[in-house]
Structure 1
């Protein structure tokens, strides 16, 4: 210790190495099964079909007109990114998984880099990055290596933040072009996933309050990108793009706000670090920026969780904001900062322990779940999935799958998006397209993915299955699913 400062000695390097090793253990199952033909999320097949359409590999439009049973309520950029890699690899789902995993790692790197730029130590930056990976792998594991654009969009928005704060001058100002570019990049991130709102909103408020000229430059970049991308998308897809993204029907439940609050409580150990922001006296108003980011991210996570089908992806911004606060708090303590009369080392150990406490508490049950249930489940059911996929492939005519990945790998076109169409029916009470298809028996078979449940009359998406079962009465178990035919 020198002048009450704690140096980054060999001990801290050992702890960082241990954190990296632990993160790799958590990521290993996701890496091992990244090319597996088992999908535990309906999002994967849905994203794969739309990526095919973006690449012209499917003649159907990327944004279907109204009256269809397939919906697209996402902006288009991710489908082209995934589609290009999927075209090269020959599998859109595997491509999406790879991109999502790389984007998660980039978000961890960006969080650590921002900690360094804002005055944090090397150990603090590593701590922030590792927290992003470890919390994602433990609490949001269903989105680790899953074909979904949320992490990709988050990574692009974080790149915009790096452009804004990295390589700034001594006064904290980046060049006008970097500020302008940061606005363009953040809007580009929203063109991948449009619910990443907390960071752009926090940046706007921060810039307006600290440097209104930079705020005008940043907003100019946002406006230009919005006009260019919005005009391009409208020119390519017409009104169906606007209706699909902004007119999508979704049910919101007030009680689901409790789920959002419970997710946020899981991050409370890291959020305590936000209390250090004022004490740290970060330069250039960075404390204000991070405080706003954390506050808005938590609020948006709670509100977004009210929507049906919105899950852990609503919490990614809150996780990143809290991790950056934690990294800076650890850096502050490493530099000799104190909390009252407590010795710096005691405060440091307490802060690090508080950040890691939720993970430590969950480890005895989560690691067996990760390796014995999740990984073993994929191995155990891979053969059953192959059986189902082969059976679907051999059916003459169109097939509608609850889990769209089954129909995707079977080489069948997408004819119904069960989740979104179920939401449409629940909101509008109109199911004409499905009723007509069932009456004409235009769909050769429907496939239910309730593979862990018993065969019976109670199905997921009961409002759709009630219509289907009125004409499709024959049910047989086939591998990992039930095939329902007339």
Structure 2
């Protein structure tokens, strides 16, 4: 890869900034090894892209929303309905359009998510490149890729909008990052970045760390750009709010902003606490960045991104059903801050790089085992899904799918959103469900046998009280109404 240079990207590397001789010799091999390992760990999900079997229960849910976005039902149903949508609309139209052209919403969503994840890696590279040099930028992209295929591997190429929304946020930072410390942010770049942020929020509304960090940074770095940022954001954001209100009325705000979801401090500690361990190398990077940002205000942004995204990610992880996608912003921020902090040191601290990679390295065995399982288990999963898809397709009357991908590939829409109803039952908001099930409203129900958290609410016991199992295979079952009387 050549020599590592220091801060700015245009400074000649001094001898004390060159890698120690053993590292210099090994560095190209280490980079090649890391690239091969990252490529292998991504193969499992890439192998599943064309498969008609869901990698995640969210895939079918998102496909169902994309179908409704194209007119096959209400995208934002009444809050008392047995289906729900707590996501903003933009991703459903993007995936819906591509899925309509390609013929499969889930496969289209997987491809969109993969491209968005790659776009985030490119954004990390460009941001670090503007704050250091090409070699450190490559390292930042590799740190991002390493965490993407280990900690965040469940979101590699799955039909989920989080990476698409995050890509909009990451590229907003690219647009706002001047190429040198003395350059002012242009009006056009500020307007474009504000538009990207609004688009990102219209994809996923929990992506607030980057917009907040940018706003604080502009307050200190460029007041003129801050004024343009705020005015543009208000204008574009206001137009977006007016548009969605004109289409869906107040229902969209009720569905998206106040969904039924339980939160737990214990869950936050158990699921969110590990994120703090990932930030240990960042603590070491803060000092050189903090000592240098007075001469280059651009350097304050990586620290602000971390300071807001880490606690926000931990808090969001306390919500029921919230997965590691709550950590996307923090991982992007980490991938920027660590190489920039290293580049600012008078001597390259290679032990930092080891610390930065250590959590990802610890996850490699688990990720490798899951990759092998994905590579060897795809055809079996597709084969196992076929009888459920066929049965749902032939059912005469309304159907319900715990895994909504089954309903989607059967050409049907699920009449129950299992997760939403579970959460509403926890809050005692779904009393209407019991008589609906008692009347044998559904001709066929597909349900996971080992349904997580069923003890916490009445959904599964209520279904079993009125429906009987007629087919079961691989932790999935089909249920029909019990005979009356």
Same-fold call, TM cutoff 0.5: yes
Contact 1:260 1:306 in 2 (8 A): yes
The residue correspondences of 1:158-237 to structure 2 (distance < 5 A) are 158-167=170-179, 171-237=182-248
CA contact (8 A) 1:269 1:357 kept: no
Shift of 1:474: 3.9
Question: 1:21 — aligned with what?
Answer: 36
Is the 8 Å Cα contact of residues 177 and 298 (structure 2) preserved in structure 1? no
2:458 to 459, 463, 468: 463
* Stretch deviating more after TM superposition (377-386 or 175-184): 377-386
Decide which moves more: 264-273 or 197-206: 264-273
CA distance 1:480–1:393, shift in 2 (3 Å): farther
CA distance, structure 2, for counterparts of residue 409 and residue 35 of structure 1: 13
Paired position in structure 2 for 1:64: 77
Which range is displaced more, 8-17 or 442-451? 8-17
Q: What's the offset of the Cα at 1:280?
A: 4.5
Q: Kindly indicate whether residue 425 of structure 2 is the aligned counterpart of residue 413 of structure 1.
A: no
How far apart are the structure 2 equivalents of 1:74 and 1:244?
8
Shift of 1:141: 1.1
1:285-308: CA deviations, max 9, x gaps?
122211111011111011101111
Residue 81 (structure 2) pairs with residue 82 (structure 1): no
Structure 1 residue 271 displacement after superposition? 5.1
Q: What is aligned with 2:7? A: none
Q: 1:272 to 1:420 in 2, by over 3 A?
A: farther
SS in 2 for 1:477: strand
What TM-score do the two structures reach when normalised by structure 2?
Answer: 0.90
- In 1, distance between residues paired with 2:282 and 2:108? 32
Aligned to 1:374: 374
- Runs of 5+ consecutive residues of structure 2 not aligned to the other structure: 1-12
User: TM-score with structure 1 length normalisation?
Assistant: 0.90
In the other structure, the counterpart of 1:477 is: 472
Unmatched 5+ residue regions in structure 1?
A: 339-343
CA distance in 1, matches of 2:46, 2:449: 26
> Aligned in 2, Cα 1:479/1:21: closer, same or farther, shift over 3 Å?
closer
2:117 maps to 1:104: yes
Q: Deviation at 1:362? A: 2.9
Question: Is this contact kept in 1: 2:444–2:480, CA < 8 A?
Answer: yes
Instruction: State the match for 1:442 in structure 2.
Output: 441
Q: Provide the rounded CA distance (Å) in 2 between the counterparts of 1:109 and 1:283.
A: 27
Give the match's secondary structure for 2:458.
helix
Tell me the residue number matched to 1:302.
Answer: 314
Match of 1:341 in 2: none
- Residues 354-363 or 142-151, more deviating: 354-363
Distance 1:318 1:422, change over 3 A: same
> Which secondary structure state, in structure 1, belongs to the residue aligned with residue 16 of structure 2?
coil
